[in-house]
């Protein structure tokens, strides 16, 4: 089990107490009462919720932690100790200034830059091959509009590698959105 599950009912935790015996003192006050507790769930409720006791709580939390560790290890094997970021650019392939957008990326050390773009027919990515510690710019230039019935968002990846260790230190997933041209004429 890796998550807590609620039982779904409008009468959850409603109980019927069936009184078996009552013990009273000399003045008639109730001293003790023996009852049988009956759950008052809706008819046909068969869904089991998470039984909470120390063992199930510990087991569930441990499974959640293990799942998160496995996810982090898979990410580590894929990306190393790289910082993961996202960026967005909006372009319009109409020949105007909207044809271009700029993304700024910061780095804490001198890096080599690797760009992975599978959509070179739609847009080009212009960036330096190397950058010094600080901020550098990446320019996205629309070449042509995508198919009218197709997707309007496309991803490319920028990987930054340390010039000292050759390890990837940052991975930026950039989303390029092609904006539809305006249908209203400008003044």
What is the C-alpha separation between 82 and 67, in angstroms, rounded? 20
Distance CA 63, CA 128 (A): 44
pLDDT over threshold 90, residue 38: no
- CA dist list (Å): 79 to 84, 134, 153: 8, 22, 23
Domain ranges of the chain: 15-79, 83-178
The pLDDT value given to residue 183: 60
Task: Please count the other Cβ atoms lying within 10 Å of the Cβ belonging to residue 88.
Answer: 13
Give CA–CA dist 139/129, Å, rounded: 13
Q: Please compute the mean of the pLDDT values over residues 42-64 and round it to a whole number.
A: 72
Q: How much of the chain exceeds pLDDT 70, in percent? A: 79
Residue 185 — pLDDT band, cuts 50, 70, 90?
low
Per-residue confidence (pLDDT) for residue 12, from 0 to 100: 61
Tens digit of pLDDT for each residue in 147-179? 877 788 999 999 999 999 888 889 999 999 988
pLDDT band per the 50, 70, 90 thresholds, residue 103: very high
| pLDDT (mean) for 76-88 | 78
**In the predicted model, is pLDDT for residue 109 greater than 80?**
yes
Q: How far apart are CA 113 and CA 37, in angstroms?
A: 68
Read off the pLDDT of each residue in 40-53 and give the average, rounded to a whole number: 63
Distance CA 8, CA 47 (A): 7
pLDDT, mean of residues 93-117: 90
Beta bridge partners of 105: 136
> Going by CATH, does the domain composed of 83-178 fall within 1.10.3720.10?
no
């Amino acid at each position: 089990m890796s998550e807590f599950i609620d039982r779904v009912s409008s009468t959850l935790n409603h109980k019927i107490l069936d009184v078996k015996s009552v013990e009273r003192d000399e003045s008639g006050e109730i001293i003790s009462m023996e009852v049988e507790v009956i759950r008052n769930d809706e008819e046909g409720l068969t869904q089991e919720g998470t039984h909470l006791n120390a063992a199930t709580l510990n087991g569930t939390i441990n499974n959640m932690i293990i799942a998160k560790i496995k996810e982090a290890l898979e990410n580590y094997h894929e990306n190393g100790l790289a910082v993961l970021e996202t960026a967005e650019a909006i372009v319009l392939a109409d020949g105007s200034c909207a044809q271009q957008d700029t993304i700024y990326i910061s780095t804490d050390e001198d890096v080599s830059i690797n760009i992975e773009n599978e959509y070179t027919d739609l847009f080009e990515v212009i960036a330096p091959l190397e950058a010094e510690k600080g901020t550098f710019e990446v320019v996205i230039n629309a070449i042509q509009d995508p198919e009218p019935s197709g997707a309007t968002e496309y991803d490319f990846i920028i990987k930054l590698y340390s010039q000292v260790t050759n390890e990837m230190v940052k991975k930026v997933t950039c989303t390029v959105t092609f904006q539809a041209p305006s249908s209203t004429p400008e003044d």
